[in-house]
Structure formats: structure tokens, C-alpha cells
Structure 1
Amino acid sequence: MNKLYVLKTYFYCLICLVFCVQIVFLLFLIVEYKHGFTFRVPSTVFQPSIQDSNQDTTSSNWVDDFRIIGHVMAENHLSIYIIDKCMLAGVQDKTNASNCLKTYSPILLAAHYHEIKHYLSKVIQELQKEDFEVVAFFNGNPEQLIPELISVPVALFVKRKFVFKILFLHGRVDNFWWFGNIQSDSEWERKLSDLNVSPISSELMLHEGALEKFEAVKYNFGKVDGLIPRNVTIFLSELDSCKFIECNHKRAQSFLKKHGITQDGKTQRFQHKIYKILSLTSMIAKQLSTPFWLSSGTCLGYFRQCGIIPYTTDIDIGMFIESYNPKFEDVMIKHGFRLKHKFGLPNDSFELSFNMASDSSLKLDVFFFYKEGQYYWNGGTQVRTAKKFKYIFPKFHLCWTIFLNLKVRVPCETESYILANYGPNWMEPIKQWDWKSSPFNVQGAGVWAESLRKQAIQVF
């Protein structure tokens, strides 16, 4: 009887213990959910292979070093983010990212410059006390003439057992983060050489960049936590197309002074109209995933004078035809635009023109570009004769820039784009311009067939 009583007592105690453990575990999950959103990954992710003793050492090196960097930043109430492409690809794919460490390439981190600028000297000193080599790179671009960017730090390279690149994110107009080019530092090659770091391993920092502001979350890398962008897929996509080029303000000032162009009230009102149209178009294009760039006269105004051509009557943008979304016209109309004309067909010389329903004084021309062999081209259509025209451009890539305080795209190879369209005298203003004969890259492309004209030539 006593034995039965003891067994029952043990049984009830065991049930109570299991119940308590479940309650504690549930409370732990609630706390984790509220404080940090720590995502844990399988032990194989970012963990060295047991058979690879060298990799084990390398993994320990980066973890130890990153833990110290994170501690120094936290002690100064600063955040540090892991934005390394290879490391984030491992997060995205849930795969073993040990190759990121085997290459001994520097790991890319990021920090907000406006947060760290008042503590930078202290952070450097504290890292040096922990036996880190610390090398700062500064923006020395003489063409920008952006007061807040002159001689500012653009990056820190820190090295103890492992090398880290800390990219400084600078807030710019239109609410995005800009980062600088380490090559603008006159001593960049020597500084990298002193750290035994190759320029190739620092490819992202060999150009300026623009990134959308992102929300960060905590992520567990097996042995250490780090902050990463919440949406890794979107961030990696932006990282692949983040190259930024600044307008040459020195050239613009020289041009404006030479030709006596001033920013009077009329010009400022005109600029504001263009700003509103481009801002709205940019929002719609982002919504529909249809990237555009400044083209024709608008691109010339940007490149030559960092602004608009005051006697222009339209805004010109380009899109690749493969990015065309059939919903584009309807969405534009819903946001206050009126479709003025629709020329060509999606497979040939497609072009759309809009103006604001509330103000028809300014036209937005959307030219669709086609990729063909070693060049790109867009088309044109004359309503009266049904003649077709073709404008040939050398291949180009797209970069971000600032235009009228908006973050927009332009061809990275802007000068060759302008040369193709306007010829070698593009620095000279031309007020008489015939779109059918003046461009250097125009050629005849036949006539629209009678059977296609109703569809290919639509004026509203």
C-alpha cells in the first residue's frame, strides 16, 4: 500500500514538472517574440565543417572579432549591421556559407554615419585597444561640391584576426542612404596595401551607392547574433543595382555662368512642376516594378547643368520594353495623368505620352528601349506621314543619381549616351530642335503598314 502511494506521488510530481517546463518554454517564446525577433538557423549554416580544421579557426576568428566590434559599438549606443552579400545569401538560402570565410574576403558591415560621427574617434581608440588595425577612408570627390559630403569618412577597415569593412550610410534627400567610394580617397591604394587587402575584394566600395532605408532584425549566426535587413531578398536585389553617380556640379556651375542662366521665380515654378510629375511617376514605377531613367533632353539637362533645360516643354524618360507592365497606363490615369498619345506596338517603337489632367502645359514622354545586338534603340512615329524613326544608343547600365532632389536613374555611361543623341557639341544650347532630323543617332525605319496604323498611331 505504501509503495503504491509513493508511486502515485512520483507520477503526479512528474506531471507537474512537465507542465511547469511547458509554461516556462511558452514564456520564453513570448519574450523572444517581443525582444529581438531572433531567427535561429540549423547548426550547419555558417558553421565550419568538423573535418576542416583551418575553416574552424577562420570561423572562430570572425566570430571573436565581430563580437568585439559589436561590443564596442553597443557600449557607445551604436548599431552595426551585417550587409555582406555572401553572408546574406547564406541567410536567404539556408545553406552553408563557409565559403564566405574560406576566401578570406573582408566581411561587409554598415553603420549610420549620423549616429557614429560624434563617437568615431572613441570607437577607433577602443578598437585599437583591442589590437585592431583601423584605417579610415574619406570622400575626396572634387566634382560633387556637396557641402555635407566634403572630406567625410566613407568607410572604416578594421583588422585583427579577420578584416571587416564598415560602410558608413549617409542620409540624403529623398530619404535614402548614400555610401561613398573609397577610391575618392587619394591614398586608398596604399591604405588597402597596408592591410593586405586587394581592391577586388572591396568591389562594392569602388563606386558610390544608394540604398533604400531598411528595417533591421536580429539573426543568430550559430555562435553570435548580428543585425541584418529584415527582407534579405529585396536588400540583395538592391545591392546588385545600387551604383550611384553624382552630378558634376563644377561643370554645371561653369555652364550656367557662361550662358547667364539664373534660377528666377519662373524657372523655380517650372522645376516644381517637373518635380511633381517625376515624383509621382517614380512612385508608380516602383509600385509596378518598372524602372525608368532620365532620357533625351531631360538627361541632357541633368548631365550638363544638374537641372532642367528652361526652354523645354516636356520630360523624357526611358524604360526597357521587357519591364513594361500593361497596367501602366491605367495606373497613371488613376493618379491624375491623361494619356495624350500612344505610338507603336509593344514589339516595335512603343511610346507613350501623358500630361496632367489638371495642367496640360507639360508633357511626359515615355520611350521604350529595345536590346538588339551590340546596341539599344528606341523608336519614334510621325502622325501625319506614319513614318517610323529609330534612335541608336551604345549599350549602357543604370545608376542612381539625384535630380531635382529626387533619387532617379540615369545611364551610368551618361556621356556616351548624350554623345550618341546630341553629338560632340552637347555643351552648347540649341533652341531649335527637330526630333526627326536633329539627333545624331536618328535613322529612318520605314513606314507603318496601313493595316497597323489604327493601332500604332493613337492620339487622344
Structure 2
Amino acid sequence: MEIHGKDPRLVSMDDLTAKEIPLHFLFRFNSRLVHVVVLYERSGKYLWHGPLRLKASMDRTFAPFGKLDYGRHAGAYDRPELILTTLDGLDVRIPKNFSGFLREFSSSRFLECRSREAKAFFQLYPEDTSAEAVDFRMRAKSLLHLASKVLSVLGVPFWLSSGTCLGWYRQCSIIPYSKDVDLGIWIKDYRHDITQAFQKAGLPLKHKFGKVEDSLELSFQGNDVKLDIFFFYDDGDVVWNGGTQAKSGRKFKYVFPRFSLCWTELMELKVQVPCETGDYVTANYGPSWNVPVKTWDWKSSPFNVQENGVWPVREWDDVIQVY
């Protein structure tokens, strides 16, 4: 089935009726249940399955729906390489790296961007279609794809943070006046060869603030677009990332409620975002996050910024490095 003239994510059950795109099949054979999950290739070249949507007329006793492995949420996977094997005399295919696929399954939950809300947002604040904005989005897309490739090779998980996360959540896109790409990484996943890997990929280090034990932040220079990587620290009921003012050594802390990570798609790339995106964005930008703000001071504008002391002058050579 092909859908023309509207975003397919906005198609309702009524629109699909009998032609609904198949997502799940459930078959009963004596006392056994067979669950067939249909995977589709999305524009980011990854595989996706939808949630299990039950119509009002569905016989709720047909299957233990709450116990099914697939369907509680949509899911996303890298395309696995399949190999042929034999199971009970049947030729079947399984993922070659089946242990990797099972690990991926445990964190496969997928969130669609909020396309309805994005459409309403652009009705209030028309999308910037200037040549400069279009050029920035293309450069940001290229940088995001490159950063994802570098971190994937290193085995370092990351998520969209700060303005890049806000852009995905608010308008399903990159905010053109942000001028950078923001990523978050847990400090436990930090590797000492991250900087070298980015520089080898053609992204020179712009600045390094903080240290692994406290408020680490890396910034790389892309093609007229800056890549900021914020490292997050676990602190009991909250998590936080740090900031440093180079000229004064002042330290800042940005505090977020704890969150888990889900997959989504941005700029034709499968990436992670906080599953509790609304809480994450509200913590950073306050209850008025849906109103564009083009004048932003990273030291005072964030809703969750806190003063966090001053770096001792004797440490400046190590914790304040600007190139």
C-alpha cells in the first residue's frame, strides 16, 4: 500500500480500515501461540516494527497480550546478517550474531517524533526555508551521521541532547539557528581515544573542559557546524552534565531527572533520545520550551543551570583547553 498526500504517521486507523499495513500476526495452533512480527525498513536503513494495536472488537482471551515479547512498544534494530541453520529438521534463518541481536532487543524501544505537534508548531512559527537554514540543516545532518559513525565504531552509545533533542521533540528536525549539534554520553562510556577518533575523521578538537571525574565536555569543529559532546554523571535520584566558562574558570551544573534511552529517527539516522523526552526537555528549557528563543546564554538561560564552584587556577591548564 502507498499513502499519498499526507505524512503516513498521521494516518489514522479509520483511514487504513481493511488496508491496514500489517504489523503483527497472531496464530493459534492447539494450545500454542505463534506471533509473527513484521519488520519494515525505514529511511535510516534500519528495521522497525510497530506496536501491537488491539481494536475494540479484539477477543482479549485469544492471547496473553501483556506477556508477548514484541508489541508493547514499537522497536528498531540494525539489519542483522542472517545465516541458515536447521531446527528440529526445519531450515530456518537466524541472526548470525544472535547474542548481539538479543542485547539489541532488550533496548529496542522506538519513539516516533511528535509529527502532529510539529505540524501545529510550524503553523504558529513558520519553518525557516531560507537558503542559510537549508544549508545548515544539511551540514548538521552530515555532522550527525559522521559523529554516529565514529561513536559506533568505538562502541560508545550516545543520545540527542540540549538543542538537538529539543529540535527533534518540538519540530521533528534540527533547529536552524542553533548552529551546533549536541550529544550526550554517560561518563562510564568515555574512552580516552574518542578525541583521536574524531580528529582522524576530520573533526579537530575545538575545546576540552573539565576532566573525567568532573564536568567533562568536548567540542569538535565540523564544516561550519560545532559538535558538542556533554558527559553525564549519575548522582542518585538525578543526573547532570557540567559546563565551564573559559575566561573565569567558573563551573556550572545542569541537572536532569533520571531517564532511560529509546531509539528514534532524525535526519534519516537511527539515534537515541531520552524515553522521558518531555521531562528531559522541560528540565533543560522550562515549561515554555515550545516557544522559540533565539537569544540564549548557556550560563543563565537553561532552566536547570546551577552554579558549581570555580576550577582552582592550578588546574586550569588541564581543565580549560581551547584550540
Which structure's relative contact order is higher, taking Cα pairs within 8 Å and 6+ residues apart?
Answer: 2
Q: Counterpart amino acid of 1:164? A: V
Give the drift of 1:266.
2.8
Of 269, 274, 280, the match for 1:411: 274
Q: Does the CA-based 8 Å contact 1:209-1:244 persist in structure 2? A: yes
Q: Does the CA-based 8 Å contact 1:388-1:445 persist in structure 2? A: yes
Equivalent position of 2:86 in the other structure: 220
Q: Does 1:277 align with 2:143?
A: yes
Of 151, 161, 164, the match for 2:34: 164
Q: Does 1:191 align with 2:58?
A: yes
Q: Does the CA-based 8 Å contact 1:397-1:412 persist in structure 2? A: yes
Give the drift of 1:450.
2.0
Equivalent position of 1:303 in the other structure: 169
Give the drift of 1:191.
3.0
Secondary structure class of the residue paired with 1:337: coil
Give the drift of 1:200.
2.6
Equivalent position of 1:8 in the other structure: none
In terms of Rg, which structure is larger? 1
Secondary structure class of the residue paired with 1:377: strand
Equivalent position of 1:353 in the other structure: 219
Equivalent position of 2:101 in the other structure: 235
Q: Does the CA-based 8 Å contact 1:399-1:411 persist in structure 2? A: yes
Alignment partners' CA distance in 2, 1:354 and 1:192: 55
Give the drift of 1:144.
2.8
| More helix per residue | 1
Equivalent position of 2:23 in the other structure: 154
Q: Does 1:294 align with 2:160?
A: yes
- Are the structure 2 counterparts of residues 284 and 402 from structure 1 closer, same or farther at C-alpha, using a change threshold of 3 Å? same
**Deviation per residue, 1:229-274 (Å, 9 max, x gap):** 1111111111111111000111111111111224343322211100
Q: Counterpart amino acid of 1:153? A: P
Equivalent position of 2:124 in the other structure: 258
Equivalent position of 2:10 in the other structure: 145
- Are the structure 2 counterparts of residues 445 and 262 from structure 1 closer, same or farther at C-alpha, using a change threshold of 3 Å? closer
Equivalent position of 1:444 in the other structure: 307
Aligned residues: 312
Q: Counterpart amino acid of 1:419? A: T
Q: Does 1:207 align with 2:65?
A: no
Alignment partners' CA distance in 2, 1:311 and 1:348: 30
**Deviation per residue, 1:171-200 (Å, 9 max, x gap):** 1012111100013x443xx636141x2233
Q: Counterpart amino acid of 2:270? A: K
Equivalent position of 2:52 in the other structure: 182
Q: Counterpart amino acid of 1:227? A: R
Give the drift of 1:163.
0.3
Secondary structure class of the residue paired with 1:193: coil
Equivalent position of 1:401 in the other structure: 264
Q: Counterpart amino acid of 1:289? A: G
Give the drift of 1:455.
0.3
Give the drift of 1:287.
0.4
Q: Counterpart amino acid of 1:346? A: V
Equivalent position of 2:293 in the other structure: 430
Q: Does 1:173 align with 2:43?
A: yes
Q: Counterpart amino acid of 1:314? A: D
TM-score (norm 2): 0.92
Alignment partners' CA distance in 1, 2:310 and 2:156: 29
Q: Does the CA-based 8 Å contact 1:375-1:393 persist in structure 2? A: yes
Identity of counterpart residues, as a percentage? 40
Consecutive unaligned residues of structure 2, counting only runs of 5 or more, are 2-6
Of 191, 197, 201, the match for 1:325: 191
Alignment partners' CA distance in 2, 1:246 and 1:335: 30
Equivalent position of 1:340 in the other structure: 206
Give the drift of 1:306.
0.6
Give the drift of 1:216.
1.5
Q: Does the CA-based 8 Å contact 1:192-1:199 persist in structure 2? A: no
Equivalent position of 1:364 in the other structure: 227
Q: Does the CA-based 8 Å contact 1:182-1:206 persist in structure 2? A: yes
- Are the structure 2 counterparts of residues 429 and 440 from structure 1 closer, same or farther at C-alpha, using a change threshold of 3 Å? same
- Are the structure 2 counterparts of residues 264 and 192 from structure 1 closer, same or farther at C-alpha, using a change threshold of 3 Å? farther
Alignment partners' CA distance in 2, 1:390 and 1:372: 12
After the TM superposition, which residues 95-110 of structure 1 pair with which residues of structure 2 at under 5 Å, given as runs? none
Alignment partners' CA distance in 2, 1:192 and 1:273: 50
Q: Does the CA-based 8 Å contact 1:143-1:248 persist in structure 2? A: no
Alignment partners' CA distance in 1, 2:262 and 2:49: 14
TM-score (norm 1): 0.65
| More strand per residue | 2
Alignment partners' CA distance in 2, 1:223 and 1:208: 32
Q: Does the CA-based 8 Å contact 1:143-1:249 persist in structure 2? A: no
